[in-house]
Structures are given as structure tokens and as C-alpha cells.
Structure 1
Amino acid sequence: MDLPTDLRLALTNRLANIPQKSIAATVERLSNRYRGGHPPAEGTFLHTSADVIAYAAYRLPATFAAIYAALNETRKRRPDWQPRTMLDAGAGPGTALWAASQVWPDLAQIALLERDDDMIAFGKQLATHARSAAVREATWQKVDLLGQWESEPKDLVTTAYVLNELPASQLETLINKLWSITTDTLVIIEPGTPIGFSHILQARQQLIAAGANIVAPCPHNLPCPMANNDWCHFAQRIARSQLQRQAKQATLSYEDEKFSYIAASRTKGLPIRARVLRHPQIRPGHIHLELCTPEGLQNS
């Protein structure tokens, strides 16, 4: 997949006037921070406007791909549902805003919560180039998710790549709050790593206990069969522009973003019999599939 044309052009235009060596150096520094795998003591990897711009070059396309894929799978399980209002918690540069407007074009009222002033400014600049009025007119609020904040209930609530940057002791409280303002569906996306999946698993268990129906990716509300021996994650391929390849000092024209996610709803989704967990293995005379089913993991 590729970024939507308006987002791709907005990002390219924003990066075009900045020396590529400068972006590449900042990207490398950010990459080293992220590889550390633990949230910094101050709670953020980004400290300057240059960091925000480099982050957009380094991560925005890949996180867009993951968020879009998770939301699109949610739509497939709820094909007749059309959310009108949305809140994204920990919005960054507005990546989920753009992805959701692609999946549900009739979104009309969108609120974004973000604590970093530079990130808010950058996100607003990108949004001015959007074709969607909902993206252009989205409301940005400076909010620390670990502090005191309120929101009107929203049809769709999302949070992406946020839990992994928060103290473990705060996750339960935040998940409860996000669910409390969700009138229909809450979607949580995390990196496709063992740590990322552990946060998704915690959210899954917590939301089921609160009465939620798991819409995606799980085909059931039963205990996760992968909880003790593996981690559930998916991959989405996204094209890289020339500027992004230069910023990441990469040669491939694409990258694969691995992610874990959960979509929990107050309404049941269309039932599915199983979820394919691995790339099918094509062998002479048959195809081997690893499936998640209500009866547990199955090889077919």
C-alpha cells in the first residue's frame, strides 16, 4: 500500500526544504532510542521540532500502514457501522486521523489528544493539505494522558503506539478511561513485539472483563491461546518515497511494519471461524495454515 496522495504530498513538501543529511542524522539518533525498547524517564523520545520532523520521516508511513490495516480489519467485522465521532489518544502527528478518514470517509467530528506542542503544530500543518474536511477541521488538544482530562463520549476511540511508552502501572487506568468514553468501538495498536503484544493482551483481558466484544483480530472472546508460547502480530507493507529512503538511509522501496492490535466493541461483529496467524506455507499438493480458532490453535 501507499500513503494517501494528499498525505504523501504534505509530508514530502514538509521534508523537502530541510537538508537530508540533517534529517538522516536525527533519524539515526531516534532509531537508536527506539531500539532501546524502554520508555525514557521523561516519557518521550522527542525533544525538539527537528525530532518531530525526523520522526515523521522515520515512522509516520509505517505507523499509518499498521493503523490503517487494524481499522480496516475492524470495518470488515462491522461492515454496516459508520462512526461519526472519533477520539485519538496520543495522536502524534495525526496518523490515526488520516487512517480513520480513509476507512470511514463519513467521519465528521474528530478530537486529537497530544501533549507535545511541536507535534501538534506539525500535525496541524499536515492536516491543512487534507482533502477530507474532517481531517482539516479536527480539534487538537494539548493533553497528558497520565494527567487529568475529560472527553465527550465518541463512537470510535483509538490509541496507537502509546501504551509501550507509558509506565506499566498506568496502563490499566488509561485503558479503563478510554473504554469509558467509547460508545461503540475502541481500537488499540502496538508494535508487533513480545512487549507490544503483552500490552495488547492486558488490554484484551481487561476489556473482556468489562463486557466488551472482541471484534478483531480474534475470532472469539475466550482466553488467548498464544498467551504463553508466542505473540500475535501482523505485518503491513508500505511504499517508501525517495525522501524517506534518504532519511532512513535505506535502499528498499518498501518496508514491512509489524504490529499487534485489538478492537473491542459494545456490539458483536460478524462471526469468523478462524484467523490465519502466519503466512501460508505452500507445499506440493497442499497449503499449510496456522489458525486461531475458538478451539485453540490449529494447523490445517
Structure 2
Amino acid sequence: MASRAYGACVLCQRAVVVRMTCRGMSAAAHPQSQVDFLNGAPHRKHPGVTNLKTLRLPEELHRAAQSVIHSAEVSGLTDRARSLTNMLWSRKRAAEDSTLRKKAMSLEKVLWERAKERRGDLDEQVLEARIKKKVLSELKRTTYRWTPIKYDEQLGVVYMAARLAGGYAAVRRALNEIKKRDPSFAPHSLLDFGSGLGTAVWASHFCWGDSLKEMVCVDSSGPMNTLAERLLKGDNEKAEPHIKQVYFRQFLPVSPKVQFDVVVGAFSLSELSSKKERDETLFTLWRKTSSYLVLVENGTKEGHQILMEARDILLTKQEKTVHDTRAASVFAPCPHELMCPKLARLSAPPCNFNQLYHPLPLPGQPDRQTEKFSYLILTRSEPAEADGEGLDWARLIAPVLRRPRHVHCHMCCPDGQLQHVVVTARKHSRDVYRCARSSDWGDQLPIIQQEEADVQSDSE
């Protein structure tokens, strides 16, 4: 009996040695080891994680918003907030005059060809008048009727109830990307274009606190600026603002040499009336950027396309007069500066991301909601300066599907391609597998080296 027990013990020891040897061989076979990129951090907190837990508004902002809602006494606030949210989500850009002209000429040509086949005895002038009338009627029917939104005091409160928490969550998530990947960055100044309720001020204050010494909010709506200032003062005109050195303007600073460490444009480009105005505004915002330009839009195809147009303009075009010669480079979320692969696929969903948040408490609303948004961060620094770890990492562009012993990851890669990769510990190393399993939509993952046969098309 003693000899059997001894033999069993020897077998156990051998099994342990074999497992340890295999682990050592596996680590040597995979270049992406824990030593390479984890820097001692646990897998769930690897350098590519940028996701945030369910966000709440800062307590001071939450209390001030509730006080404003209570004092305003807007009838049917919940229903009006829901309707405004739906309208803003489905909102499109104004149709360009050149696009309308091309559409009208094409339609007119088709109608003339049809008319020639069955013209009969109709006078040509009468026929021309009829065709023009049909063209105008068809354009009115099929063209999105864009009109600027004019916020008065009451509509401002409705907008606050609908969008304060969601807008804060989106901007905070975007700014967290900078804070996580460039921890030494300590901005002293901020410019918020289309500032609305001042959510960028609150989000940036949470990220960098007293480092910020000057924050300029620019919004063309006087009532919206007044409401944002009320929120800063806790809905008490005599109180000191919770965040100091915040200045409200209705127009951008005139001097082209005045720059800010961080410039934010959240849900504002889509509210400009034409592509020309968007382009001019983009160049103005970039001129005023000394470090980071942060743009956020709805996570719709429209919002994504607006951001990709902005990306291409600032990367490829240059103004005649340049005050800061440092070129633009993409910081996030794109891991490359090639054409967006999603735009190349007509049926592909837009590149967007999710952030959970707690909304303002309104009757009939759930305690948690999801903000779906698209964002773009450009920097004047070289990518290697601001982002040594995640420079060549892919971006997760869909929820991670966790299965027994494998994980499905849909990624946008540094080579400009979309990939659907099935990550396993055997193929990609234990560390990469555990990092993938701990990651989620919007995070970054190290490049996964594997044979071409293991990579599936992202459309599958």
C-alpha cells in the first residue's frame, strides 16, 4: 500500500512539472506575453481598457438640475423629453444646394424622356411647367426638412431633462480615453464649442480637477448659456459657481493665436447648416487646439459620417495661413489613418460605442439607460509621444462574445481592416486570451498574431 501511495505521489509531481514546462513553452511561443504589455497590471485592467462603469452625474449637477426642473414646472416634461430625444436621434444634416441641383436635374431628365414618348399635342411650355412642378413636388417629398433648433428657457429645461445625463456620459467616456492613455497630460485651458448645458466642463473637471484654470463655453443660444450658468451655481444666483473660471460666450474668440489645451465639440457639428460652415468651423477649432480636439456625435450613420468627414478634412487639407505647424494625427478611436473600412461597406453599421448611465429621475423612466455615441479625438502630438502602449492595438467595435474557452472579437485593426477573430489561450497566449475576455466594446486589444486561416471576415 505504501509503495502504491509513493508511486501516485511521483505521478502527481511529474504531472505538475509537465504542466509548468508546457506553460513555459507556451509563453515562449507567444510574443504577446504578460511582461510585454501588462506591466504588472491585472488582466481586467490591462492598458487597453477604456470602458467606464455606469456613470452618474456629479452630485452638485444632479441636485441643481432637479431644482431647475422643480422650479420650471414644465407640463408633460417626460413626454416632451422623450419626443425631443427621438427627434435629435433621427436628425439629419441639411441637404446641400449642389446635391439638390444634381437631384433635380436627374429627375427632370427622366421626366422629359417619359414625356417625349407620350407627349401628344401638349404645348412644350405647358409640358415644361408641369415637369418643373413635379420636380419641386418630388424634392419636397423626399428631402429632409432641416431647420435650426431655437432654445428658449422652457425648451432648454426639456433638453436638460432629455440629454444632460446622456451627453455627460458620452463626453466623459471620450475624455477618459485621453486621461487613461496620456496620464501625464494636465490641461490648463478648455474650449467647449456648442457647449449647451456645459457638460464638457463638468466632465473635464472630473477628469483633471483644479488643473484647469480657464474654461470657455461658446453657444449661440443665450437662454442655454444662462441655464448652464444656473447649473454651475446650484440654481442659486447668489451662490459661487461650483466650478470656477468658467466663461460663457455666444461667439468663438476672434484671435487665431489664442489656443486651448483641450477643445471639445459635442453634438454641435450636426447642428451647422452646411458643409461649408462645418469645414470652416472645424478649421477654426483646430487652430485653437494646442493638444487635443475632441468631437462627439450621435452614434448614427449620420453622426459617424460627419466625424469621418471631419477626420479626412483635418488630416488631408491645410489652410493657407497656418499659425501652428504641428500636423493632426488620430488619437482615438481609429487605430489607423486610412479610410474608415465601415464606410467602404454600404450595409455596415456605423462605428459607435455604448456607455451606461443613470438619467435624471423622471416618471416612467428606467433607472439605467445607454448612450450610443460616436467620437473622434485628434492630437497635435506624435502618437508615440502620447500613447506608447496602445499605439498598435486594435479597437473592439462590437460587444465581445464570451464562450467556453474562446472569445469572439470584432476589431478595427491598424492595417485599416475589419477582423473577426476567435481568441483562444492556445493560439494567442494565456495573457492575450484573458485580456480579451476581460475587455468589451470600445476597448483596445494588442495585435493578435495568427495565421490568415484563423481570421474570419467581419461580415460573417
Q: Same fold by TM (over 0.5)?
A: yes
The reply to whether residue 281 of structure 1 matches residue 401 of structure 2 is yes
Q: How does 1:19-30 map to 2 (within 5 A)?
A: 19=73, 21-30=75-84
Q: 1:283, 1:13 → 2: CA distance?
A: 47
Q: How does 1:248-263 map to 2 (within 5 A)?
A: 249-250=364-365, 252-263=366-377
Which one of 285, 292, 300 corresponds to residue 412 of structure 2? 292
1:172 counterpart residue number: 279
2:246 counterpart residue number: 138
The reply to whether residue 212 of structure 1 matches residue 328 of structure 2 is yes
2:226 counterpart residue number: 121
TM-score by length of 2: 0.59
Which one of 224, 229, 232 corresponds to residue 351 of structure 2? 232
* CA-CA distance at 1:261 after TM superposition: 0.7
* CA-CA distance at 1:223 after TM superposition: 2.5
Q: CA, structure 1 residues 98+192, in 2 after alignment: closer, same or farther (shift >3 Å)?
A: same
1:264 counterpart residue number: 378
Q: CA, structure 1 residues 116+228, in 2 after alignment: closer, same or farther (shift >3 Å)?
A: same
Contact 1:30 1:51 (8 Å CA) reproduced: no
CA RMSD of aligned residues (A): 2.3
2:112 counterpart residue number: none
Q: How does 1:1-300 map to 2 (within 5 A)?
A: 1-19=55-73, 21-31=75-85, 33-38=87-92, 42-44=147-149, 46-105=150-209, 106-129=211-234, 135-143=243-251, 149-150=254-255, 152-169=258-275, 170-209=277-316, 211-229=327-345, 230=348, 231-242=350-361, 245-246=362-363, 249-250=364-365, 252-267=366-381, 268=383, 269-270=386-387, 271-295=391-415, 296-300=417-421
2:26 counterpart residue number: none
The structure richer in helix per residue is 2
The structure richer in strand per residue is 1
Q: CA, structure 1 residues 293+5, in 2 after alignment: closer, same or farther (shift >3 Å)?
A: same
What do residues 60-79 of structure 1 show as CA deviations (whole Å, max 9, x unaligned)? Answer: 10010000001111222222
Q: 1:299, 1:97 → 2: CA distance?
A: 38
Contact 1:67 1:99 (8 Å CA) reproduced: yes
What do residues 136-179 of structure 1 show as CA deviations (whole Å, max 9, x unaligned)? Answer: 33010122x7xx94562111111000111112322111111110
SS across alignment from 2:418: strand
What do residues 214-250 of structure 1 show as CA deviations (whole Å, max 9, x unaligned)? Answer: 11112222332222223211010101242xx32xx42
Q: CA, structure 1 residues 134+80, in 2 after alignment: closer, same or farther (shift >3 Å)?
A: farther
What do residues 94-141 of structure 1 show as CA deviations (whole Å, max 9, x unaligned)? Answer: 111111111111111111101111101100011113999783330101
Instruction: Please say which of residues 204-213 and 103-112 is displaced more in the overlay.
Output: 204-213
TM-score by length of 1: 0.89
Q: Which structure 2 residue ranges, 5 or more long, are not aligned? A: 1-54, 94-144, 319-326, 422-460
Q: 1:293, 1:28 → 2: CA distance?
A: 37
Q: 1:93, 1:42 → 2: CA distance?
A: 21
Contact 2:151 2:224 (8 Å CA) reproduced: no
Q: CA, structure 1 residues 215+36, in 2 after alignment: closer, same or farther (shift >3 Å)?
A: closer
Contact 1:156 1:186 (8 Å CA) reproduced: yes
The number of residues matched between the two structures is: 291
* CA-CA distance at 1:80 after TM superposition: 1.2
What do residues 6-61 of structure 1 show as CA deviations (whole Å, max 9, x unaligned)? Answer: 111111121123436442353245245425513675522x4421100110011110
Q: After TM superposition, what 4+ stretches of structure 1 lie above 6 angstroms from structure 2?
A: 130-134
Contact 2:392 2:414 (8 Å CA) reproduced: no
SS across alignment from 1:135: coil
